[in-house]
Amino acid sequence: MLQVSQLKENTQESIDKLNKKNYKDADAAVAEVIKLDDDRKSVQTNLDNLLAEQNNLAAQIGELFKQGKKDEADVLKQKTLELKEQSKTLVVELAEAEKNLYDKLVLLPNLPHSSVPFGKTPQDNEVVYEHGEIPKLYDKATPHWELTTKYDLIDFELGVKLTGAGFPVYKNKGAKLQRALINFFLDEAEKAGYIEVQPPILVNEDSGFGTGQLPDKEGQMYHCTVDNFYLIPTAEVPVTNIYRDTIQKKEDLPVKNTAYTPCFRREAGSYGKDVRGLNRLHQFDKVEIVQIANPENSYTILEEMRSYVAGLLQKLELPFRTLRLCGGDMSFASALTYDMEVYSAAQEKWLEVSSVSNFESFQSNRLKLRFRDEDKKTKLCHTLNGSALALPRIVAAILENNQTEKGIKIPSVLVPYTKFEWIN
């Protein structure tokens, strides 16, 4: 959620930035939010004055009672009753004014960073970095969904039996490869200074709200209605919410966390070859990195995170590219997002395996996640997160890109974790 003060102080700039995100009628929307905030403020002031008067009278009445001047007290009592009626009305008005403001404010997406390219579709994303050669596969190379069957690594049908489509069962070396990747990613994150946490994978409504999944994107999460819990779509939700309603010490920033969790996404309406095999699942594993930063250096940190993730992909010897997402392709809450895509050679397509974003204060505003500045005032932190990495598509790319007539070669960096060099 944006801060009204941002919009007030930099009105034209905010409008321009909203336009970059292809937000319709940005100028009218911003003007309305500012007006609604002024309305809210004036009602608040009126109410505060009225309450002050009532408090004052109540104190006088107390004093009169003590002195035994009951008659005088009764006169004042009468007066407070009138004030009370008035303030009741204002309380209702204030609630309305706050709701009106909130309803409009939550519709506004985060303002994109100045480096974000204009554009509407994924075609407009800017390739900022490419690494590695596109591998030339041998004649009989096949997509990963055939390899997983051939080598008995993943059983998609069995998952259908147990749960449904999109819940694969990993087996044998397929299961071990998963475990190896998780441990590799966590070890790397630890080396880079991220503190590991193991959060719950069910969260309550407050947490869903804090990171912005609720109320709008309720449909993307699995909901346990009996207990009103949600299965997390990403570790970002529980990990970032650790810091909800806190005031961090400035010297403790940035806070760096990493977490491995399963992730659950309903992804309603998806079909076709985009969801074939491991490309899109309802349950998948992911290691996430999260940072809570001082606004002063959050963009330096974003670049660090980007190069950290790039380093992982290099170590895994996967060809990849980094995209700076255009205004139209960015998520609602992000100010700047880099997507990392690996090339999946048998499918001959790029697969998104990581998304690294700076949300600036958009999330922390909702989370009430602050730090104390030199002048002892509280300010909103910046929140950042990134996948490091999402497993299924990494597995897909490893299987496809490394397939040979002799079998599938495990990237050497993983061998200490898998304890085998080949899948054959």
For position 247 contacting RNA by CB under 7 A, the verdict is yes
Closest separation between CB of residue 377 and RNA, Å?
7
Q: Which of 19, 54, 86, 149 binds RNA (CB under 7 A)?
A: 54
For position 44 contacting RNA by CB under 7 A, the verdict is yes
375 phi and psi angles, rounded to 5 deg: -80, 15
Contacts of 366 (CB under 8 A, 6+ apart): 1, 209, 210, 211, 212
What is the distance of C-alpha 256 from the center of its chain?
15
For position 47 contacting RNA by CB under 7 A, the verdict is yes
For position 424 contacting RNA by CB under 7 A, the verdict is no
Closest separation between CB of residue 22 and RNA, Å?
30
CB nearer RNA, residue 54 or residue 100: 54
CA distances from 131 to 138, 307, 390 (A): 22, 12, 19
DSSP state for residue 325 in the 8-state scheme: P
Q: Which of 13, 62, 75, 162 binds RNA (CB under 7 A)?
A: 62
Q: Which of 10, 13, 58, 172 binds RNA (CB under 7 A)?
A: 58
For position 183 contacting RNA by CB under 7 A, the verdict is no
Closest separation between CB of residue 62 and RNA, Å?
3
For position 49 contacting RNA by CB under 7 A, the verdict is yes
Closest separation between CB of residue 370 and RNA, Å?
6
Query: Own/partner pairs for 203-206, CB < 8 Å, 24+ apart?
Result: 203/229, 203/230, 203/232, 203/237, 203/238, 203/241, 204/228, 204/229, 204/230, 205/230, 206/241, 206/244
339 phi and psi angles, rounded to 5 deg: -100, 140
CB nearer RNA, residue 87 or residue 403: 87
Closest separation between CB of residue 227 and RNA, Å?
7
Structure tokens at 61: 């009445």
365 phi and psi angles, rounded to 5 deg: -65, -45
Q: Which of 9, 35, 59, 99 binds RNA (CB under 7 A)?
A: 59
* 351, burial (CB in 10 Å: exposed 0-12, middle 13-18, buried 19+): buried
352 phi and psi angles, rounded to 5 deg: -70, 125
d(CA 267, CA 357): 21
Region of 74-82, 141-149, 291-299, 405-413 interacting with RNA (CB under 7 A): 74-82
Q: Which of 9, 10, 65, 373 binds RNA (CB under 7 A)?
A: 65
The binding track of 80-99 with respect to RNA, each residue x by CB under 7 A or -, is xx--x---------------
CB nearer RNA, residue 47 or residue 413: 47
Q: Which of 163, 172, 297, 378 binds RNA (CB under 7 A)?
A: 378
d(CA 33, CA 18): 14
For position 51 contacting RNA by CB under 7 A, the verdict is yes
